Amino acid sequence: GDVAVLVPAAGAGVRLGPGRPKALRLLAGEPLLVHAVRRLAAAASVHSIVVAAPVAEITAVRALLAPIAPVTVVPGGAERQASVAAALAAVPADPEIILVHDAARALTPPALVESVAAAVRAGYDAVIPVLPVVDTIKEVDADEMVLGTVDRAALRAVQTPQGFRRAVLTAAHAAAADALTDDAGLVEKYGVPVHCVPGSEHALKITRPFDLALAEHLLAIAR
Ligand code: C5P
């Protein structure tokens, strides 16, 4: 494999309701992070996996993941970007392709990991999986008054794994001024073109209780 995957998994998961850090919430009896890492490790291109875990859970996360795959676990940061930077600092020297994948996208199929990696290998410096936007989107002001309707045809909802040529991700992170919610955003600001590939409904980000219920159902019908 020529791919290293960084897994930011240090978020609290406030929108999921009270409980453990999100990556350790259970889905069909197993932590979200275990589901995510199992699928990453099943992708043939993946050479190494670095997880940024909640500081208080480092030992627990190492124990959870040891039976799944050889994984490096580092302490995450206060924001997602800091967690990715911590994982990036611990990545082995060899892989030329680096993917960044949210632990919360626990059911992401290995085939999506491969298609993002393949697009980087084919020559794109930065690659993101996307889906079309199904809802009509309005822009609103602070009083919830509609300012206008955005042309949906030109919009895409962005998922992970996001893939990068190693030098591009390293440089974009080093140059980052303000925190963004995704790594392709840093690369865009750095001036590098970002290529889109088709995403997967199964790569949904488990954020709210509804998403967890949907993910439970998807796993149940896949068995
Ligand atoms: O909060 P959000 O759903 O955007 O988080 C996306 C991913 O980033 C999750 O996998 C979460 O665990 C991770 N994260 C992190 N460190 C933080 C905040 C979020 O690794 N400080």
8 Å CB contact between 171 and 124:
no
Range of 115's domain? 3-126+158-222
ipTM of the shown complex: 0.95
Look up residue 59 and give its amino acid.
T
Residue 52 CB burial class (10 angstroms; 0-12, 13-18, ≥19): buried
Task: With respect to residue 32, please indicate whether it lies within any of the assigned structural domains.
Answer: yes
Tens digit of pLDDT at every position of the chain (223 positions): 899 999 999 998 899 988 899 999 999 999 999 999 999 999 999 999 999 999 999 999 999 999 999 999 999 999 999 999 999 999 999 999 999 999 999 999 999 999 999 999 999 999 999 999 999 999 999 999 999 999 999 999 999 999 999 999 999 999 988 888 899 999 999 999 999 999 999 999 999 999 999 999 999 998 7
For residue 174, give the H/E element and its range: helix 166-175
Mutate to test the pocket of ligand 1, among 80, 182, 183, 205 (most ligand atoms within 8 A of CB): 80
User: What's this model's pTM, rounded to 2 decimal places?
Assistant: 0.96
Instruction: Report yes or no on 44 lying in a domain.
Output: yes
Ligand 1 atom with the shortest distance to the CA of 79? 21
**Nearest ligand 1 atom to alpha carbon 181:** 4
Ligand 1 within 6 A of 54 CB? no
**Coil vs helix vs strand at 145:** coil
145, part of any domain: no
**CB of 207 closer than 6 angstroms to any ligand 1 atom:** yes
Q: Which of 14, 40, 83 to mutate to test the pocket of ligand 1 (most atoms within 8 A of CB)?
A: 83
CATH of the domain at 168: 3.90.550.10
Ligand 1 atom nearest residue 207's Cα: 3
In a domain, 48, yes or no: yes
Residue 97 lies in a domain: yes
Residue 141 falls within a domain, yes or no? no
Number of domains, the chain: 1
